[in-house]
Amino acid sequence: MSRIYRAGAAALIVAGFATTAQAQRPQIETKKVDGTENVYIFRNGNHQSIFIVTKDGVIATDPIAYGRPTGGQDYIAEIRKVTDKPIKYLIDSHYHYDHIAGGKPFKDAGATIVAHKRAKERLALLKDPNTPLPDQVVGDRRTINLGGTRLELRYLGLNHSDSNLVMLLPKEKLLFVVDTIPVGSFPGRGFIDIYPLETEDFIKKVLALDWDRLIPGHPGQPNGRLGTKKDAQDILTLMQDASAEMKKMGQDGKCWEPAEKEFKLPKYGSWPGYENGLQFVARRYCALWGRGT
Contact footprint for Zn ion (CB under 5 A): 96, 179
Q: How far is the CB of 178 from Zn ion (least distance, A)?
A: 6
Q: Of 88 and 94, which has the nearer Cβ to Zn ion?
A: 94
Q: Of 193 and 212, which has the nearer Cβ to Zn ion?
A: 193
Q: How far is the CB of 253 from Zn ion (least distance, A)?
A: 32
Q: Of 96 and 154, which has the nearer Cβ to Zn ion?
A: 96
Residues 6+ apart with CB under 8 A from 242: 265, 281, 285
**CB contact at 8 A, 217 and 93:** yes
Q: Of 96 and 118, which has the nearer Cβ to Zn ion?
A: 96
Q: Are strands 174-177 and 166-169 parallel, antiparallel or unpaired?
A: antiparallel
Q: How far is the CB of 180 from Zn ion (least distance, A)?
A: 8
Q: How far is the CB of 258 from Zn ion (least distance, A)?
A: 30
Q: Of 72 and 190, which has the nearer Cβ to Zn ion?
A: 190
Q: How many residues does the chain have?
A: 293
Q: How far is the CB of 146 from Zn ion (least distance, A)?
A: 26
The phi and psi torsions of 99 (rounded to 5 degrees) equal -105, -30
Q: Of 96 and 284, which has the nearer Cβ to Zn ion?
A: 96
Q: Of 96 and 213, which has the nearer Cβ to Zn ion?
A: 96
Q: Measured between alpha carbons, how far is residue 289 from residues 24, 197, 262 in Å?
A: 42, 11, 15
Q: How far is the CB of 107 from Zn ion (least distance, A)?
A: 21
The residue number with the shortest CB distance to Zn ion is: 96
Q: Which of 291, 282, 270, 34 is nearest to 173 (CA)?
A: 34
Q: How far is the CB of 195 from Zn ion (least distance, A)?
A: 12
